[in-house]
Amino acid sequence: MTATSRQLALAVGGPPQTEAQAHSQTGPSNRRRQCWECQRRRLVCDSARPVCAKCKTSGVVCPGYEDKKPLVWLAPGKVKTRTWKRKSPPTNKTKDDNSSKGDNKEQSGSELAKAVRSEVSGTRTDHLMHLFPGYELRDETCDVIEATLYWNEQVYPFFAANQLTNSPWLVPVSYIQYMGVTIQHTLVAMAINHRLLSLSSRKNDLHHAEVRARFHQHRCTAIQALNGEISHQNEKRRISDYTMAAVIVFLYADLMGSVTASNWRHHLNGFMAIIEMRGGLRSVCDAAPGYKTVILFCKIIENLANSTSPAYDQVSPLVNFEMRGLTQEIYETGYYPFLPCPVQLFIDIICVNRLRYLATQPESSDTLDSLQTEAEDLLERIIDFSPETWSAAKTESQEQFLTMAQVYQSAVVVFAIASLQSVCVIPASAGWRAVKTIHGSKLMALLEKAAGSQVLRSCVMWPMIVAGFEAKTGTAAVRSFVAKRLAEESVHLGAYLPLATKDILEKFWSSGKKDWDECFDTPYALVT
């Protein structure tokens, strides 16, 4: 029992007493009674209640003033005093010798155990690493609790303080005891990943490897639990709300880590399979408003991942286009963290991905002219979008929202032209090249402006990807700016994806390639 808990226990041990009652209980003989600790230390006790001032000042747990000396917990194997035995009659000398030998063995064993514990303790101290500030990792249960504290005391306050406006998607971790094994251990794995990435510039290799092993331990436990849910005999349990939530949390966790980021498609496909078994997207969203947050998270990852994937190898681009009305409805539920993209421009990204996909199909040669007409109409709509009108409807942070609307408008224009020219839907004419150059320069200037804002710097991940592609034909200073910002954001957000983006762009810059699909020649999910 700690000093604080002891004091609290003494303070609330009984109802308050009046002065007369206290006097009657202490009496003349007990008025200056010494506490047991002061007696042991041969000090003059001040007899203060509930604990004496000398014990409190020295940081010692005051044992109180009871008639009997209170029991004290000792470490296993530690012996403080021994009961002396009377000498037995001479006839029992053999028995006494055996007893003496037993005592000696016990004392010897105690000393040996103490030495071993001291050695082990010293070894552990040499290799101890405090992963989460202020907490020490122990067994799995402690890991879960400490990870929860880490999210609520380290990560959540940072996210909450760096939002343009309140977001319904940003909530602290609570009710951890009801989350189930999969989500609990996934949260621990996410916390470990976040902490390691945020400390990447000063990590120790030995400690990094040790904690990384713990990450895999929790991830393995989560996988086993999730497999148990998915393969359960009861179909309702296989497609339950908990299973859906567990898949989404696992998807987010895998996107945070360098080793697991490439698994994103498996999780998305599994999640959409559950959605289909439950009647489709519309049916799930109509069942309860809470499902919309989960659906939007998937749609943001899916559609932005499609933009950085080969045109022919996207995830359901036609279905996403058909469901764009539902996506817009969910998107307008509230501000999604670190993605202040106007909903009209987000829908335009979905439309661009559809045109890219259709252009790669065998029958596209017969409809190439119609695709070009549709693409040019789409580009005109994107260019005509008014950031001023959109930001004026905001009730707070209008200037910051205006900057973000301008950033995303220029980014979508550059993305649309570059990606559609990559599949020959938009001609490589001087007119479109000029439009792309103008918006590319504007985008870079706006990104430099956003980099100086604590709130806006983390809201431009997808535009930074587009600017990185355009930097291929830019100056070395522009490429250096993009690479530096991506490296900073990885540490700033505690996420791996900015580093993955940096590696992809640097590989593209050093190559002789120039098209969008040559840069993103493999499906990448680079934004969450």
Tokens 């879960």, located at residue: 144
Q: Which of 450, 472, 448, 440 is nearest to 404 (CA)?
A: 450
Q: Is the peptide bond before 50 cis (omega within 30 degrees of 0)?
A: yes
pLDDT of residue 55: 83
pLDDT of residue 114: 52
Does residue 241 have a pLDDT over 80? yes
Sequence-distant (6+) residues with CB within 8 A of 163 are 170, 335, 337, 455
Q: Which pair of structure tokens corresponds to residue 129?
A: 């690493």
Does residue 72 have a pLDDT over 80? no
pLDDT of residue 20: 40
pLDDT of residue 463: 98
Confidence of residue 25 (pLDDT cuts 50, 70, 90): very low
Judge contact between 482 and 275, C-beta under 8 A.
no
Domain ranges of the chain: 3-58, 130-278, 318-528
204 or 242: which leads in pLDDT: 242
Surface-to-core class of residue 313, CB atoms within 10 Å of its CB (0-12 exposed, 13-18 middle, 19+ buried): middle
User: What is the distance between the terminal CA atoms of the chain, rounded to a whole angstrom?
Assistant: 45
**What's the rounded Cα separation, in Å, for the pair 272 and 284?**
11
pLDDT of residue 418: 98
pLDDT of residue 75: 55
% of the chain surpassing 90 pLDDT: 49
What does the pLDDT look like over 341-387, one tens digit per residue? 999 999 999 999 999 999 999 877 668 889 999 999 999 999 999 99
pLDDT of residue 106: 46
Confidence of residue 189 (pLDDT cuts 50, 70, 90): very high
Does residue 184 have a pLDDT over 60? yes
**What's the rounded Cα separation, in Å, for the pair 522 and 329?**
30
Distances (CA, A) of 467 to 83, 380, 435, 440: 81, 21, 15, 7
Give per-residue burial for 323-350: e unless 16+ CB within 10 Å, then b. Answer: bbebbeebbeebbbbbbbbbebbbbbbb
Residues 491-520, mean pLDDT to the nearest whole number: 94
Residues 308-320, mean pLDDT to the nearest whole number: 96
Does residue 36 have a pLDDT over 90? no
% of the chain surpassing 70 pLDDT: 79
pLDDT of residue 10: 34
231 or 310: which leads in pLDDT: 310
**What would the DSSP string read from start to end of 380-392?**
HHHHH--HHHHHH
Phi-psi region at 47: left, alpha or beta (left = phi > 0; alpha = psi -120 to 50): left
Residues 490-511, mean pLDDT to the nearest whole number: 94
Q: Which of 177, 183, 182, 192 is nearest to 147 (CA)?
A: 192
Residues 313-340, mean pLDDT to the nearest whole number: 91
What does the pLDDT look like over 89-98, one tens digit per residue? 555 544 445 5
pLDDT of residue 365: 67
Task: Cite the DSSP H helix spans in 70-204.
Answer: 93-127, 140-150, 156-161, 180-198
Least confident of 188-202, 218-232, 260-274: 188-202
Does residue 150 have a pLDDT over 70? yes
**What would the DSSP string read from start to end of 307-371?**
HTS-TTS-SSHHHHHHTHHHHHHHHTTSPPTT----HHHHHHHHHHHHHHHHHTSGGGGGSHHHH
The average confidence (pLDDT) of the chain is 82
Confidence of residue 76 (pLDDT cuts 50, 70, 90): low
Does residue 281 have a pLDDT over 80? yes
Does residue 73 have a pLDDT over 60? no
Does residue 115 have a pLDDT over 70? no
At position 462, the amino acid (one-letter code) is W
CB atoms near residue 219 (< 10 Å)? 23
pLDDT of residue 461: 96
DSSP for residue 233: S
Does residue 465 have a pLDDT over 80? yes
Least confident of 25-34, 137-146, 425-434: 25-34
pLDDT of residue 17: 42
55 or 251: which leads in pLDDT: 251
pLDDT of residue 369: 87
Backbone φ, ψ for residue 470 (5° rounding): -65, -25
Q: Which pair of structure tokens corresponds to residue 3?
A: 């000093």
